[in-house]
Each structure stands twice: as C-alpha cells, then as structure tokens.
Amino acid sequence: MNWPQHVKWLHFEYCVLSKPFFEADDLLIIEDDDQPIGFAHVAYGANASCDAIDHQAGILAAFYLAPVANEDIAADLLLSEAMKRFDAVHCRSVISIGAEWRNSFYIGIAPGDALMGVPARDSRLQRWLTTGGFRPIRPTEIWELDLGSFRVPMDRGQIAVKRTASVGKVLDDADSNWWHAVTMGHTEQISFQLFSRTSSIYLEEASLWYADPVISGLRSHIARLWLMPLAAANLSQSNLPTVPQIGPLGPSTNRPDLASRDRTEANDRRVYLLSEAMRQLQLERFTTVRAVASADQQQTISILQRLGFRPVESGLIFERTTA
C-alpha cells in the first residue's frame, strides 16, 4: 500500500499498536486486485471517569485512501464498513478524525498531531465524510510560536501579576487518569503553575507535552500546549467525558458572566504564566510551541496572539449521529 508519508512504521508502533485498547479487527483495510489501497481505524473515547473505553463514544481515528480510479466508490465502501462497526455497538455519535484530548491514536504523528480534526486542505476526505452523513461542527486552527523570536510581553497588567505571583515548574510523572496515561504514554509531560506570593494559593496551571526523545523522528523539540477541552466550548456531542481541566485557558476565559475587569485580570495571569513557561522552554532548547484552538474561542486566540503565536493551519471537526 502507498502508506501515508506522515506515518512511519516505528511511530505507528509507539502511537497505535502499543496502546492497550488497540484491536486489530478495528483496523479496516480495503484492497483492489489483492493490493491494499487504504484503511480506516475504528476507535472509541473514554467513559466519564476516564478509566475505561466507552463504546458509545465513537472516533474515526484515521481514514486514508491512496489516489486510485473510482476512489469515491472505494471511500464509500470503506466508510460504510467502518460505520457498521460503530452501529453494531450502538454508538451514539462518531467524531472524525480526532479533536484535542479525545483522540486515542496517532497523537503526534498525524496531520495537526491528530488533534484538529480533518485538515482544511484535505478536500477529498471532507467530501467523503459529507457524503457519508458527517457534518462539520467546529472549525479549528493550529497556532505556533517560534521560540527563537519570542519576547516576554510587558505592560501594566503583566507587571501587576509579577508583583503578586510566581511560577513553578512541575514534572508531570503521575498521570491524572488511566485515559491520559495510555493515550499519552509515548510523550513527556510538563506543567507550570502560578501561585500567589502572599498566600501560596494555586491560581493557574499550564500543561504541555512533547514526544519522548527516545522515539527517533517524532520532533521532540516541539512542545504542544494543551488548551481547554473543546467539550467545554459547547460542542454538540454529549457522549464524550468531561476530563479534569488541563491548561490555563479554561472555560472561565470565555465566560460572558465574568465582569470585564475580572476577565482582564484572569487573562493577564494566563499571559504571565504562559510567558514564563515559554521562557523556560527557550532555556531548555525547545524551538517551537504548538497549540490547537477552536476558531470561535476569541479570548483564547487573543491570549495566543499576545504571546506571538501565529496560525499555520486550519481544520474541521466532523460528527455523525449514528442510527
């Protein structure tokens, strides 16, 4: 098969086959004249407590088809077979191709790290999903920061936060739950925490991850910043679990009920926390920081822009409600 160029066999071993919930029967391969031409990967999300798989939370983790004659017919056959698998376990809805923390496979090796849904440039896959009953429910964007040119922003708000708070680094050796441990087992985790100088009260946390340097070719010099789970941004699906808040840009950033002054102070704290995190990453010789944001999270995007992040790619999260 003309294997996707972005996926290497060694990376496939670490990011897919090694996961304890991988099932060979869920990897569907389509052939033409006894030659494989594509595959679809049927997967599932976690339950509400993130300690087991929930077969009603469907994820089409991967869908690839080499350019062939009658490819639309082949895509329809492959997608139809995948949907039969979801229907067989009474799956309520299916997300494609993965979004934020929900995806269970291919994290760090698929386009957009398998966190942004379907790349906007992939018109073939978008067409096949739409024909197959999926609909776009959320636009996403990948934002990147070049640490070589990063400069700490400084204004009155940042000075005020610096006087009253401090930032500490935490090596995240203990994963918060089973789901996080197994899906991110091929990565290293870093957290930065913001504390009050006067009372040592924990204020905010920024969590990042990068590929384990032991795995050659996975670009461990790129750190990925977890933003808020997209479920908190009012996605339509309700079958996905709520996980512990990860990252500093949580629901409070976008809450309309907060007073303007409170929102400004909260954003200033987050900018300061992330600035200190970026500065530390500079010292540790990381070259780039990447984040995936929902395109309608304007407060979140505003914070990224203040730090110097730039959009580099966009995507779409697709969903299909099953029968």
Q: What is the CATH number of domain 9-139?
A: 3.40.630
48-62, 202-216, 254-268: range with lowest mean pLDDT: 254-268
The residues spanned by each domain of the chain are 9-139, 143-315
Closest Cα partner for 315 from 109, 113, 177, 78? 113
- 5 pLDDT band, cuts 50/70/90, is low
The backbone torsions φ and ψ at residue 76, rounded to the nearest 5 degrees and listed phi first, read -65, -40
Q: Say if CB 153 and CB 307 are below 8 A apart.
A: yes
User: What average pLDDT score do residues 22-45 get?
Assistant: 93
Q: What is the rounded CA–CA span in Å between residue 274 and residue 203?
A: 13
User: What average pLDDT score do residues 177-188 get?
Assistant: 86
Q: Residue 252 in 3-state DSSP?
A: helix
Cα-based distances in Å from 10 to 68, 82, 127, 227: 26, 25, 30, 28
Quote the tokens at residue 186. Answer: 């091929």
* Residue 167 scores a pLDDT above 90: yes
23-27, 48-52, 147-151: range with lowest mean pLDDT: 48-52
* DSSP secondary structure letters along 4-65: -TT--HHHHIIIIITSTT--GGGEEEEEETTEEEEEEEEEEEE-TTSSSEEEEEEEEEEEEE
User: What average pLDDT score do residues 259-272 get?
Assistant: 83
- In whole angstroms, how large is the CA radius of gyration of the chain? 20
Q: What's the pLDDT at 233?
A: 34
Angle 254-255-261 from CA coordinates, rounded to 5°: 95
Q: What's the pLDDT at 46?
A: 87
Angle 60-62-67 from CA coordinates, rounded to 5°: 125
User: What average pLDDT score do residues 260-278 get?
Assistant: 89
Domain 143-315 architecture: 3-Layer(aba) Sandwich (3.40)
Q: What's the pLDDT at 296?
A: 79
- pLDDT tens readout for residues 201-242: 888 889 999 998 888 778 889 999 987 543 333 333 333 333
2 against 261, higher pLDDT: 261
- 323 pLDDT band, cuts 50/70/90, is low
Segment (H or E) for 268: helix 260-283
- pLDDT tens readout for residues 105-149: 988 888 888 888 999 999 999 999 999 999 999 899 999 999 999
* Residue 293 scores a pLDDT above 50: yes
What is the dihedral angle through the alpha carbons of 296, 138, 64, 212, rounded to the nearest 10 degrees? Answer: 50
* Residue 175 scores a pLDDT above 70: no
Q: What is the rounded CA–CA span in Å between residue 262 and residue 90?
A: 44
Segment (H or E) for 273: helix 260-283
- pLDDT tens readout for residues 62-105: 999 999 889 999 999 999 999 999 999 999 999 988 766 677 89
